Structure 1
Amino acid sequence: MLKEIRWYSELALFLVLSLVISWLPGRSADWVGSRLGRLFFYVLKERRQVALENIERALPFLEAQPGWVLRTPRELARETFENLGRSLVEDCKVYHGHGRRLIDAAEIRGLENFDAARKKGKGVAFITAHCGNWDLLALGFGARVQEITVVARRQDNPHLNEVLERIRKAYGNRVFYKSSALRAMLGAFKRQEVVGMLIDQAVGADEGILIEFLGRPAWATKLPAYIAKKAGTPMVPAFIHREGDRQVMDFYPELMPSTAADPDQAAAEDVQALNRCIERYIVAHPTEWYWIHKRWKNTGGLTVPVLGGRDAQ
């Protein structure tokens, strides 16, 4: 009973605030989102600490990358929260039917890479991460190019889950939930459909492969490698980032599967290569990745096996 009351209270709060936010004009909405994110930075102490610790431990890797601009962990964490606030405001606009302008204003780059993968007739797996406004990436592609199915985790609050599902299904898109996604995804690829997967969250050892991510061991989902082997579906890295007042959606060349004879090594090389794509995104757009997630849990004392040196193109 108390749980239901809490769930409905959270839903009511979201609906009231999101409705007000959804009517804000573009520049005002962006300012409100940034300030809302900054408020979260100061209020959500546990998440702020997770972000600060993640950034501090990733800095040796980041600072060794060409073009890295020196920033303090606190600056990066604060701007990360601000970008998340901006994305939240944008999602509120989409939910209340005011998101088409955001979608139409986004620039699309590298669409020829998607076209090349699609022509193989085995569907397309978009491999992405919690970067920028990842919901807007799927919505923009679905509205302007082709309908897409996204793989998502069901929220604990079922009423808020319905809200998120409505956002993700806007403009004809669909949702597969992780608990039953694999069979549904294989069926979608047989029908030559497009499925988007977020691969940057921590998984358990039983469903993951140990890789190196931002200089540290991390468990990563092996689902993309399994799909590439089982269905022969092209894996196309896709990301979204901000450039001033606009959003840019980038679609990169298909990642060619490993040719290693050992299937375990091939899977590890594929997963590592895909995560290298996410690393490059983070180096280029460090405040647009989801630093507040406990990405490196359950890896204490582990070391990453040495692979054959293959990397993403």
Structure 2
Amino acid sequence: MDTSLSLRKRLKWHLGVFAAIVATLPVLLLPAPVAVALGGAAGSLAFRLLGKVRRNTVTNIRNALPALQSMEGWDPAAGTPEEIARRTFVNLGRTAVEIIKLCYGQGQGLVEGTELRGMEHYLRAKERGKGVIFITGHCDNWEIVAHAFGTHSDGMAVVARRQKYEPLTRLLERLRNRHGNSVIYADGAARQIFFRLRKNGAIGLLMDQAVHPSEGELVEFLGKKAWTTTMPALLAAKTGAALVPGFGRREGNRHVLEFFPEIAPDPAGDPIATTRLLNRAIEAYIVRHPDQWLWVYNRWKRVPAEQ
């Protein structure tokens, strides 16, 4: 029974991959600007058709809105939760098309056209010789900007989770290993991370994922507690590595990857307090670019109701 179920599951995945390849072929035939524009239109259509996802996205934004409105940099012109959600879907549609182009080797222009700003913050941190941990999140097109750093600078090792479907893991690994970058998988990552930091290398961590309770702590994020990895705080305390925020954003038809000043760990050495400082860096991005963050994802899952 288990073997039969496994076979059916693999068959389902293979059929899904085949359907995805067929569906993406038109993207390959169009120039990037046209394809990306159509991706935005598809995202807008998905906003209308995917009722459950739309409602969950709007709820996430609505719940976070009081916290956003209390932060410096909030622009009331950002609109209602529904308007922010619609633009979020548009951005995701564009991002999906760009990643398709990248997977098929047609995204070089998108990568090379990405501008890096604030590099002085990275270079200053690197001068200390202890390694650099980039604090980032699912902002803009996080795959494109990672490739841009590898193309225009030293490259980094991205800490990622293995996918449930192994062929998808291999596909993403091939994608992320381009342009001077590499992948470190979260399971058993400590040794590789320490080795890279000792060589004064750079590590990229997407901190805005809800980790399992055994892998992190409940730390405030956008006004509510969320399960958050404390790995960057612990690594910085143990190795002296610099914690440097860096986020991508979409400006017209191109991307910008901007780095910000290094975040000093909590003076008392409290990893939760340091992690809260890192969450604030992500919040500062979201408050200025609310429609370029991954609101469709439930950042606050598995949190007890009393929190």
CA distance in 2, matches of 1:169, 1:236: 22
Which among 277, 285, 295 is matched to residue 273 of structure 1? Answer: 277
CA distance in 2, matches of 1:111, 1:19: 37
What pairs with 1:74-153 in structure 2 (closer than 5 Å)? 74-153=82-161
CA distance in 2, matches of 1:118, 1:171: 20
CA distance in 1, matches of 2:123, 2:70: 35
CA distance in 1, matches of 2:216, 2:49: 33
Task: Give, in angstroms, the shift of residue 43 of structure 1.
Answer: 3.6
CA distance in 2, matches of 1:22, 1:29: 8
CA distance in 1, matches of 2:88, 2:246: 20
Matched, 1:289 2:289: no
What pairs with 1:1-313 in structure 2 (closer than 5 Å)? 1-66=7-72, 67-70=74-77, 71-260=79-268, 263=269, 266-303=270-307
Task: Give, in angstroms, the shift of residue 233 of structure 1.
Answer: 0.7
* Matched letter for residue 54 of structure 2: R
CA distance in 1, matches of 2:88, 2:22: 25
Give yes or no for contact 1:19–1:92 (8 Å, CA) kept in 2: no
TM superposition score normalised by structure 1: 0.91
Q: Note the residue ranges of structure 2 that are not aligned, 5 or more in a row.
A: 1-6
SS in 2 for 1:65: coil
CA distance in 2, matches of 1:51, 1:124: 33
Task: Give, in angstroms, the shift of residue 302 of structure 1.
Answer: 4.3
Q: Note the residue ranges of structure 1 that are not aligned, 5 or more in a row.
A: 304-313
CA distance in 1, matches of 2:196, 2:50: 39
CA distance in 2, matches of 1:150, 1:78: 29
* Matched letter for residue 30 of structure 1: V
Task: Give, in angstroms, the shift of residue 247 of structure 1.
Answer: 0.8
Task: Give, in angstroms, the shift of residue 272 of structure 1.
Answer: 0.4
SS in 2 for 1:249: strand
CA distance in 2, matches of 1:164, 1:51: 25
Report the identity percentage. Answer: 40
SS in 2 for 1:125: strand
Give yes or no for contact 1:62–1:214 (8 Å, CA) kept in 2: yes
CA distance in 2, matches of 1:276, 1:176: 25
Task: Give, in angstroms, the shift of residue 46 of structure 1.
Answer: 3.1
The range that moved more, 19-28 or 217-226, is 19-28
* Matched letter for residue 75 of structure 2: W
CA distance in 1, matches of 2:205, 2:25: 29
* Matched letter for residue 210 of structure 1: L
Map Cα deviations across residues 104-163 of structure 1 (whole Å, 9 max, x no partner).
111111001111111111121111001111111110000111121111111122222222
Map Cα deviations across residues 63-115 of structure 1 (whole Å, 9 max, x no partner).
22344224111111111111111111111111111111111111111001111
Task: Give, in angstroms, the shift of residue 301 of structure 1.
Answer: 4.2
CA distance in 1, matches of 2:247, 2:208: 12
Give yes or no for contact 1:126–1:238 (8 Å, CA) kept in 2: yes
Give yes or no for contact 1:222–1:267 (8 Å, CA) kept in 2: yes
Count of equivalent residues: 299
Give yes or no for contact 2:154–2:180 (8 Å, CA) kept in 1: no
Map Cα deviations across residues 230-257 of structure 1 (whole Å, 9 max, x no partner).
1111111010001112211101111111
SS in 2 for 1:270: helix
CA distance in 2, matches of 1:63, 1:147: 36
TM superposition score normalised by structure 2: 0.92
CA distance in 2, matches of 1:8, 1:68: 45
Give yes or no for contact 2:114–2:145 (8 Å, CA) kept in 1: no
CA distance in 2, matches of 1:47, 1:153: 23
